[in-house]
Amino acid sequence: MTKVFRDLALAGGTKIMEIYDRDDFEIKSKSDDSPVTEADEAADEIISAGIRAAFPDVLLVTEEQSASHTKTGTEFIIVDPLDGTKEFIKRRGDFTVNIAYVKDGVPIRGVVYAPAKGRMFFTQADGSTVEEAGPFGAEVGALSAIKVSNPDNAALLVVASKSHRDQATDDYIGKYNVKDMKSAGSSLKFCLIATGEADIYPRVGRTMEWDTAAGHAVLNGAGGAVVRFDDHSPLKYGKEDYANPFFIAYAPGVTLQKP
């Protein structure tokens, strides 16, 4: 499963970069006024076809086809073919391809590929997470095991959303002793915690399961955790509308503060 996910993320990312490198590309608006580009749709087509061919008996959920999904299950594959569309449109490079496998509410396999950044993260069969060194080809390259930090609660490294930063997020971050803060787009925020480049990522805003499942799996495999913002219980998947509550992703050494 991991190799299939990795190869499809690479194929989707290659197509995304072809469009990204053009002088112009088509941008449309969804029913909720969020943007969608031809890159989202092209990557979705590539990844969906590959998933359905490899795993025909597993429910597939993708962001671009979410309107047609009427049910969840205890086992499903969930895809965001281009997470960080706003970053893509602004040509910031902080966008990712996300593919995850969820079982009994928990994302246990995940791939996050950031094609413009040249970074690839995925969980292995034993559940551990690695980062693959580029350049990326048909064969898997050199792998490095990654692990969350041992954070200093007197000097935390915080990562927050680049496009969705608000006062509520800043108010919550203000409860911690922060040494440094960085902004990142898309599911890269989970990966920065997984590699120890950040300690905590609070999200006080709307997200969907396809936005977070792959990054969540990557973080879990590196020793991290994702919990609900309100009661610090584990963030679960397979909700009827695929909408997430607010959440906190973190290295377990962080002493979490109440909302």
Q: SS3 string of the chain?
A: CHHHHHHHHHHHHHHHHHHHCCCCCCEEECCCCCEEEHHHHHHHHHHHHHHHHHCCCCEEEEHHHHHHCCCCCCEEEEEEEEECHHHHHCCCCCCEEEEEEEECCEEEEEEEEECCCCEEEEECCCCCEEEECCCCCCCCCCEEECCCCCCCCCCEEEEEECCCCCHHHHHHHCCCCEEEEEEECCCHHHHHHHCCCCCEEEECCCCEHHHHHHHHHHHHHCCCEEEECCCCCECCCCCCCCECCCEEEECCCCCCCCC
User: Does residue 223 sit within a domain?
Assistant: yes
Q: Are residues 165 and 141 in the same domain?
A: no
> Residue 97 and residue 66: Cα distance in Å, rounded?
16
Question: Looking at residue 35, what is its pLDDT?
Answer: 72
| pLDDT at residue 163, as a whole number | 63
13 with 137, same domain?
yes
Same structural domain, 13 and 129 = yes
Q: Is residue 24 domain-shared with residue 101, that is, in the same domain?
A: yes
List, in order, residues 6 or more apart from 52 with CB less than 8 Å away: 60
Q: What is the pLDDT along the chain (259 residues), one digit of tens a residue?
A: 999 999 999 999 999 999 998 888 877 776 666 777 788 899 999 999 999 999 999 999 998 776 555 556 689 999 999 998 888 888 888 899 999 999 999 999 999 999 999 999 999 999 999 999 989 999 999 999 999 999 999 999 999 876 666 788 889 999 999 999 988 878 999 999 999 999 999 999 889 999 999 999 999 999 999 999 999 999 999 988 899 999 999 999 999 999 8
* Residues 131 and 106 placed together within one structural domain of the fold: yes
- Model pLDDT, residue 28: 75
How high is the pLDDT of residue 105?
A: 95
Q: Would you state the pLDDT for residue 67?
A: 58
Q: Are residues 117 and 29 in the same domain?
A: yes
Same domain for 206 and 117, yes or no, is: no
In a domain, 258, yes or no: no
The packing angle between helices 38-54 and 2-20, to 10°, is 160
- For residues 124 and 180, membership in a common domain is answered with no
Asked if 181 and 100 sit in the same domain, the reply is no
Q: Is the same domain home to 64 and 110?
A: yes
Residue 208 included in any domain: yes
What domain count does the chain have?
2
Instruction: Tell me the residue range of the domain where 193 lies.
Output: 156-250
Specify the pLDDT at position 138. 93
Give me the pLDDT at residue 184, please: 86
Does one domain contain both 220 and 179? yes
Instruction: Give the pLDDT score at 34.
Output: 72
CA–CA separation, 153 vs 1, rounded Å? 37
Q: State the pLDDT at residue 68.
A: 58
| 259 belongs to a structural domain | no
Same domain, 36 and 134: yes
